[in-house]
Amino acid sequence: MIAKTLQDMFRRYRRPGDIVFALLFFAFALFLLSQLGTETKVVKRTKWFAQPALWPMIAIWGMVIFSGMHLLSSVLSPRIPGRLKEVTFWLMSLEYVSYFLIYVVTVPWLGYLPSTMLFAAFLAIRTGFRSRGAIGISLTFGAVVAIVFRALLQVNIPAGRVYEYLPDSVRVFALTYL
Amino acid sequence: MDNLISGFAILTQWQVVVALIIGSVGGVIIGALPGVGAAVAIAILLPATFAFEPIVGLTLLLGIYGSSMYGGAIPAILINTPGTAVNALTTYDGYPMTKRGEGHRALSLAYSASFFGGIYSILCLIILSPVLAWVAPHFGSREIFLAAFMGILLVILAHRGQIFSAAMLAFFGIFLSTVGLEPVKYTKRFTFDQSWLSSGVDLIVVVLGLFAISQALLLLVDKDHAPGDTHVRGSIFAGLKELLGLKRVATVSSSLGVIMGMVPGTGEFTSQFLSYTYAQKSSKNPEKFGDGSPEGLVASEAANNAVPGAAMIPLLALGIPGEALTAMMLSVFYVHNVIPGPQLFADQMDFVMALYMSLILLNVIVLVFLLFSTNLLLKIIQIPTRFLGIMILILSFVGVFSLRNSVTDCAIAAGFGVFGLILKRLNLPIVPIILGMVLGGIMEVKLRSAMARVKSPLDFIDRPIAAILFVMILGIILLHIRTLVQEQRERLKPQPTGDEDSTQQG
């Protein structure tokens, strides 16, 4: 009866893969706890409420306690099939993260307008929109975003280094607006 | 009266008018697109608004915030897919009405109820202003610390069935706010001797990662699907008249929306839950709820649209955001050195008045826009979800990179994007992280300044407002313990484990 009560108490609304996340988060919290002494300082002649270590300590202990309870609730709840499939889904997102980071590194070299158009077209092809119309729409979308944010709203994005090699007639325009 | 006139003068600037129109109409479109939502749009636009005057930036963001739920009702009613998460309850009664051939009636009622809720909350805000201007200066460091603490407590307890995860994520948010060089003793905290961690973790980078990039990744990785083609026929104006017959439900629901909007950490879901329960219990036809009841539809839409106006109350009066969207708006204030809180009401009442009037105008613009363009919106929302993912990812870049042209910021945002994707897939809440970051920072600063004048623990609550807040915190904890005990007794009976396929993918 007690075991059932305990299990019921910690049972909650969850999905496959929950225990993997719970375990990783708990391990992360424990890691932070192990670093608490070296990554924060206790300053002499300073009262407790002004100690730089106070709030990291509160936060990390909170993370450890509640992620521990979260993990416990996952362990005590019935297993849901599909854990591997779910974790694979999470990992699949890393493919798009890598494309995004390549795009981020490319912008200061190639310029905002050309890189955004290329990135939009590439993602369209990668996600299965391979018709001419779809690629055209993605190129147009990339161009509109770049023009609206850099040329019209003058958002702080550096000009591409390749713009320096453009003919004089268009170089200044490209450096300012594209 | 002078404040009203100078507030109106601020509002007549062409930049404010343009921001209001773009925000309102853009918000409706964004809200109508399943899988986008106001949080994603505000996160993306946030850095762009830093270049504008505070009133222009805030009007744009408020426009999106206030109008997205109007748009979210369209797919919720017509195709059983909520445009934003808070329109989920609208599908209960809206879609059955569509199946009965009353789609235009349901939409018309939803627009009217949303308009009523929106205007009602702004009127409450205006009426409460003198009270706020009087009470706000009595909030010192102790009171603001206690109010922020109450916000954290409520946001954790509001996540029923997920309290442990909400708490661990709120503490994670507090932890993030402490990373970097702290400004009082100049010591490093959790920088691991890395220069890129010395300046701390930027709130906007985290917001963009958790809300926008995570959503883009989710849409890109998941199977593609697009909402089907549909359209409505008939007069959309009829709902305004029908709403008069349901004014009791609309008024009570809007009032609940206002109250829940003011309380940090609660918001749309709690107000909808309470108003829907009230409407059902007080209805002559409670059995029709969930099967196309106009009262249920009105309760849901009036309550959620009353929240944005009310959520501005703790933000403007105390500088305390009650949920993620107002937390994002707080950064617009900070960037322009406009510090929301008691002084705002004393020194810049015309600014506050201009904000109130822009809220009223946005509701009028949205209603007029919707009455004539619903069928056009139904065409727009047919964008395939994977293409939406491409659009969000490209727009997210502008948001992060324009902050300080940092590749590291983009990498951190992408990391939080993956983290947000996992949280959304697992149905775990994101909002506690954001509120933990914002309120954690506020609590640290306010505790330090408050304790300087406190000799004994009781001194902390010796002022009336501090004492009231302390009693409220105790009350919330006791009430929660009582509910837990009651639920525990109920749980001893066998029950199903719940829908395992449900996620927060929008």
Within a domain: B196: yes
| Chosen from B50, B390, B445, B495 to mutate, greatest number of chain A CBs within 10 A | B390
Task: Please give, rounded to a whole number of angstroms, the shortest distance from the CA of B389 to a CA of chain A.
Answer: 9
Query: Which residues of chain A make contact with B448, given a CB cutoff of 8 A?
Result: 49-50
CA-based nearest distance B140→chain A, Å: 17
Q: Are residues B311 and B208 in the same domain?
A: yes
Say if B503 falls within a structural domain.
no
Burial class for A46, CB neighbours closer than 10 Å (0-12, 13-18, 19+): middle
Whether B499 is covered by a domain: the verdict is: no
Please tell me the predicted confidence (pLDDT) of residue B496: 52
Q: Does A56 touch chain B (CB under 8 A)?
A: yes
A121–chain B Cβ distance below 8 A for any pair = no
Give the bridge partners for B189, in sequence order.
B180
Per-residue pLDDT, averaged over B475-487, amounts to: 89
What rounded mean pLDDT belongs to chain B?
86
Q: Does A116 touch chain B (CB under 8 A)?
A: yes
* B319 and B438 assigned to the same domain: yes
Is B41 a member of any domain? yes
Cα B188 to Cα A32, B207, B346, B377, B449, distances in angstroms: 15, 23, 37, 51, 21
Only one residue has tokens 């280094």, namely A161
CB contact under 8 A, A97 and B220: no
SS3 content of chain B, % helix, strand, coil (to 5): 75, 0, 25
Q: CA–CA separation, B41 vs B26, rounded Å?
A: 9
Is the residue at B506 inside a domain?
A: no
Whole-number pLDDT of residue B361: 92
Determine, for residues A40 and B187 on separate chains, whether the beta-carbon distance falls below 8 Å. yes
CB-neighbour burial class of residue B218 (10 A; exposed 0-12, middle 13-18, buried 19+): buried
| Parent domain of B458 | 454-490
CB contact under 8 A, A127 and B187: no
- B-contacting residues of A 123-162, CB under 8 Å? 123-124, 127-129, 134, 138, 141-142, 145, 149, 153-158
- Asked if residue B298 and residue B278 are part of one domain, the reply reads yes
The residue of chain A nearest to residue B499, with distances taken between CA atoms, is A13
User: Distance (Å, rounded) from C-alpha B268 to C-alpha B308?
Assistant: 9
Closest in A12, A50, A104 to B448, CB measured: A50
State whether residue A39 sits within 8 Å of chain B by CB.
yes
A-chain residues near B455 (CB < 8 A): none
Find the DSSP H helices in B33-53. 37-49
Q: Is residue B505 part of a domain?
A: no
B403/B447 same-domain check? yes
Amino acid at B482: R
Q: What is the ipTM of this complex?
A: 0.92
**Mean pLDDT computed over B204-218:** 92
**B492 vs A contacts (CB less than 8 Å):** 5, 8
Shared-domain flag, residues B268 and B333: yes
SS3 for chain A is CHHHHHHHHHCCCCCCCHHHHHHHHHHHHHHHHHHHHHHCCCCCCCCHHHCCCHHHHHHHHHHHHHHHHHHHHHHHCCCCCCHHHHHHHHHHHHHHHHHHHHHHHHHHHHCHHHHHHHHHHHHHHHCCCCCHHHHHHHHHHHHHHHHHHHHHCCCCCCCCHHHHHCCHHHHHHHHHHC
In B158-180, which positions are buried (b, 16+ CB within 10 angstroms) versus exposed (e)?
Answer: bbeebbbbbbbbbbbbbbbbbbb
Whether residues B500 and A97 touch (CB distance < 8 A) is answered with: no
Considering all CA atoms of chain B, what is the largest pairwise distance in Å, rounded to the nearest integer?
70
Instruction: Enumerate residues 6+ apart whose C-beta is below 8 A from B496.
Output: none
CB contact under 8 A, B394 and A11: no
What chain A residue is nearest to B219 in terms of C-alpha separation?
A: A93
Does residue B501 form part of some domain? Answer: no
Chain A residues with CB-CB distance to B410 below 8 A: 100-101, 104
Query: How many residue contacts between A and B have a Cβ separation below 8 Å?
Result: 213
Do residues B23 and B70 lie in contact, with contact meaning Cβ atoms separated by under 8 Å? no
Q: How far apart are CA B325 and CA B438, in angstroms?
A: 12
Domain check: are B479 and B378 in the same one?
Answer: no
pLDDT at A9 over 70: no
Give the gap in angstroms from C-alpha B350 to the nearest C-alpha of chain A. 27
Percent of chain B's residues with pLDDT above 90: 36
Residue in chain A lying closest to B169 (CA): A63
B403 and B474 in a common domain: no
Note whether B406 and B474 are same-domain residues: no
Question: Rounded CA gap, B52 and A61, in Å?
Answer: 41
What does the pLDDT look like over B489-504, one tens digit per residue? 877 766 555 444 444 4
Please enumerate in sequence order all residues whose Cβ is within 8 A of that of B117, keeping only pairs 6 or more positions apart, or say none.
B250, B253, B254, B257, B301, B302, B303, B304, B305, B306
Cα-based distances in Å from B237 to B31, B112, B233, B243: 21, 9, 12, 11
Q: CB under 8 Å to B477, separation ≥6 — which residues? A: B153
Residue B486 has pLDDT above 80, yes or no: yes
A102 shares contact with chain B (CB less than 8 Å):
no
- Report the gap between the CA of A162 and the closest CA in chain B (Å): 18
B343, B440: one domain: yes
Task: Please determine, for residue A2, whether its predicted confidence score (pLDDT) is greater than 60.
Answer: no
- Give the residue from chain A lying closest to B451, CA to CA: A49
The percentage of chain B sitting over the pLDDT mark of 70, rounded to a whole number, equals 94
CB contact under 8 A, B491 and A49: no
Task: For B184-202, write each residue's pLDDT tens digit.
Answer: 888 999 999 999 999 999 9
Output the six-digit token pair for B73.
């009702």
Q: Is A145:A137 a contact under the CB 8 Å cutoff?
A: no
Would you say B330 and B321 are in contact if contact means Cβ atoms under 8 Å apart? yes
Best probe of the A interface among B398, B405, B438, by most A CBs < 10 A, is B398
- As beta bridge partners, residue B156 has none
- Which residues are CB-neighbours of B159 under 8 A, at least 6 positions away? B165, B166, B429, B432
pLDDT tens digits, one per residue of B49-77: 887 888 888 889 988 988 888 888 888 88
> Residue B362: enclosing H or E segment and its boundaries?
helix B349-380
Rounded to the nearest angstrom, the gap between the alpha carbon of residue B109 and the centroid of all alpha carbons in its chain is: 23
My answer on whether B474 and B407 are in the same domain is no
How many domains, in total, are found in chain B? 2
Residues B345 and B461 in one domain: no
Indicate the pairing of strand B180-181 with strand B188-189. Answer: antiparallel
| Interface membership of A87 toward B (CB under 8 Å) | no
3-state SS, one letter per residue, for B142-193: HHHHHHHHHHHHHHHHCCCCCHHHHHHHHHHHHHHHHCEECCCCCCEECCCC
Test the A interface: residue of B22, B53, B172, B448 with most A CBs within 10 Å:
B172
Residue B444: is its pLDDT beyond 90? yes
Residue among B44, B60, B80, B90 at smallest CA distance from B290: B90
What would the pLDDT profile of A127-139 be if each residue is shown by its tens digit? 999 999 999 999 9
Same domain flag for B463 and B425: no
Instruction: Please state the pTM of the whole predicted model.
Output: 0.88
